[in-house]
């Protein structure tokens, strides 16, 4: 059994299934690099969400303790939790329990109850940017968490409005869940010389991601281009069929998901990355992590004016009205035709990431909250 952590340290226990991803673990190393922080992070051995299996990637593990605990109801977003978490909390005696989950999830309720029993401060993280009401027992879970949490972190400004409207009166900070490592996500050493203009998408093949719009927009482009779609999901066959209907199947490549640490290689092969999200009754884009990854790699981005996307891109990329395939086509055609614009966006995109979205910045802001909570 590991030795008890030093009493002079600020002991932090983070529960985060998102930290299965190797690229995301760089934030953990950055947090652990602060000399007063003793960080333990709990992850499951895998996440088996519907059509979205994510195995644990052991990539960035320096300076903190990674605990892999079984997850009950693995794959169920609202009901999952770690049944053996109590024993770990009793062993560590944390000052802070950082719950990387939404307030209405059982995982948050369970971990926050355990935190209160050991007199630790508890904080939650939320992306939720739609004001939604939940049935029992999730409404009761949410109400209890909002009443007992010591701090909240929101991934976007709209999430702050949601939780204030729902009655949370405690402190709230706006910090992305993760940034990017600008050393890992960086432009290629040499600018590629390609015959075709390469357009990329990376993510789920689901209605809210707007891939049908991207197919329609691509069908109207002139010049030599290739569209690479990286990922998977229930709409894969439908999107393949749609490419055939528009007679562009020969220019569309469907590619399987790759580990998070291999994503820079994918971005290096692109001339533009598109995120054509569209708002649904129960969802709108909460951030768009692929945008900052591509921007860090010097890839111009084009995003729908959906949810948080315009705020992430700012003036460092192109946007188009949500659901407007013709407007998306025009923005892509502009990039195809204007090399100087591509070069400019490549530079400004990376500058924006360095300024706002690095893992080091996210870690610094997070540690500031830990200090505020404990007056350490």
Residues 6+ apart with CB under 8 A from 230: 200, 201, 202, 203, 255, 256, 257, 258, 266
Report residue 144 as tokens.
Answer: 């209890």
The residue-averaged pLDDT of 115-144 equals 95
d(CA 224, CA 289): 28
Starting at the earlier edge strand, list the strands of the sheet with 172-174: 65-68, 37-43, 10-15, 96-99, 121-126, 151-154, 172-174
d(CA 349, CA 180): 13
Nearest C-alpha neighbor of 201 from the set 229, 225, 226:
229
Starting at the earlier edge strand, list the strands of the sheet with 301-304: 252-255, 225-232, 197-204, 272-275, 301-304, 318-320
d(CA 311, CA 327): 19
**C-alpha 6: how far from its chain's center?**
33
Per DSSP, the three-state class of 199 is strand
Peptide bond into 362 cis (omega under 30): no
Interstrand relation of 37-43 and 65-68 (parallel, antiparallel or unpaired): parallel
- Contact at 8 Å (CB) between 183 and 358? no
pLDDT in tens, 203-233: 999 999 999 999 999 999 999 999 999 999 9
d(CA 265, CA 76): 32
CATH architecture type of domain 10-179+358-374? 3-Layer(aba) Sandwich (3.40)
Location of each CATH 3.40.50.2000 domain in the chain: 10-179+358-374, 197-356
- Binning pLDDT at 50, 70 and 90, where does residue 357 land? very high
The residue-averaged pLDDT of 154-181 equals 95
The residue-averaged pLDDT of 8-14 equals 93
**pLDDT at residue 1 is higher than 50:** no
The residue-averaged pLDDT of 312-333 equals 97
**pLDDT at residue 316 is higher than 90:** yes
pLDDT for the residue 4: 37
The residue-averaged pLDDT of 258-271 equals 95
d(CA 46, CA 20): 7
In Å, what is the CA distance from 95 to each residue of 11, 293, 370?
A: 5, 33, 9
The residue-averaged pLDDT of 170-174 equals 96
Q: Which residues pair with 339 in a beta bridge?
A: none
Contacts within 8 Å (CB) and 24+ apart, 264-268: 264/184, 264/185, 264/186, 264/293, 264/297, 266/200, 266/202, 266/228, 266/230, 267/185, 267/200, 267/293, 267/294, 267/297, 267/299, 268/187, 268/188, 268/192, 268/297
Percent of the chain with pLDDT over 70: 98
pLDDT in tens, 41-62: 999 999 998 767 899 999 999 9
Higher-confidence residue: 294 or 194? 294
**C-alpha 31: how far from its chain's center?**
18
Residues 6+ apart with CB under 8 A from 117: none
Give phi and psi for 275, each to the nearest 5: -125, 95
Give phi and psi for 50, each to the nearest 5: -55, 115
The residue-averaged pLDDT of 275-289 equals 92
In terms of Cβ atoms closer than 10 Å to its own Cβ (0-12, 13-18, 19+), residue 168 is buried
Higher-confidence residue: 376 or 61? 61
pLDDT for the residue 7: 52
Residues 6+ apart with CB under 8 A from 20: 43, 44, 46, 47, 54, 55, 56, 57
The residue-averaged pLDDT of 337-361 equals 96
pLDDT for the residue 182: 95
Residues 6+ apart with CB under 8 A from 200: 227, 228, 229, 230, 266, 267, 269, 270, 272, 273, 274, 294, 299
The residue-averaged pLDDT of 231-248 equals 95
- Contact at 8 Å (CB) between 319 and 327? no
Report residue 254 as tokens.
Answer: 């469907």
pLDDT in tens, 177-189: 999 999 999 999 8
**pLDDT at residue 5 is higher than 50:** no
- Binning pLDDT at 50, 70 and 90, where does residue 3 land? very low
Percent of the chain with pLDDT over 90: 92
**Domain range 197-356, CATH class:** alpha beta
pLDDT for the residue 191: 76
- Binning pLDDT at 50, 70 and 90, where does residue 193 land? confident
């Amino acid at each position: 059994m590991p030795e008890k952590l030093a009493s002079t340290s600020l002991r932090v226990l983070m529960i985060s299934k998102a930290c299965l991803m190797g690229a995301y673990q760089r934030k953990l190393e950055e947090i652990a690099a602060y000399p007063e922080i003793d960080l333990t992070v709990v992850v499951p051995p895998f996440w088996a969400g519907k059509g979205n299996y994510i195995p644990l990637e052991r990539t960035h593990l320096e300076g903190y303790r990674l605990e892999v605990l079984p997850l009950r109801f693995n794959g169920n977003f609202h009901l999952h939790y770690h049944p053996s978490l109590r024993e770990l909390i009793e062993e560590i005696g944390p000052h802070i329990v950082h719950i990387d989950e939404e307030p209405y999830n059982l995982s948050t309720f369970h971990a926050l109850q355990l935190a209160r029993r050991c007199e630790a401060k508890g904080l939650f993280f939320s992306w939720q940017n739609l004001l939604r009401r939940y049935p029992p027992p999730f409404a009761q879970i949410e109400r209890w968490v909002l009443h007992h949490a010591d701090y909240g972190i929101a991934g976007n400004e709209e999430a702050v409005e949601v939780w204030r409207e729902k009655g949370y009166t405690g402190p709230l900070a706006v910090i992305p869940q993760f940034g990017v490592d600008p050393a890992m996500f960086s432009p290629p050493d040499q600018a590629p010389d390609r015959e075709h203009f390469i357009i990329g998408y990376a993510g789920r093949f689901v209605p809210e991601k707007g891939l049908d719009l991207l197919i329609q927009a691509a069908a109207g482009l002139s010049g030599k281009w290739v569209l690479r779609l990286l990922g998977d999901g229930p709409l894969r066959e439908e999107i393949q069929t749609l490419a055939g209907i528009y007679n562009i199947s020969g220019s569309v490549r469907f590619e399987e998901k790759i580990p998070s640490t291999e994503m820079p290689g994918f971005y290096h092969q692109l001339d533009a990355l598109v995120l054509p999200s569209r708002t649904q009754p129960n969802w709108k884009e909460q951030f768009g992590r692929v945008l900052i990854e591509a921007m860090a790699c010097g890839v111009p981005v084009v995003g729908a004016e959906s949810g948080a996307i315009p705020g992430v891109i700012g003036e460092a990329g192109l946007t188009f009205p949500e659901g407007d395939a013709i407007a998306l086509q025009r923005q892509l055609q502009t990039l195809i035709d204007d090399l100087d614009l591509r070069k400019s966006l490549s530079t400004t995109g990376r500058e924006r990431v360095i300024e706002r979205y690095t893992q080091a910045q996210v870690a610094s802001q997070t540690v500031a909250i830990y200090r505020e909570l404990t007056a350490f």
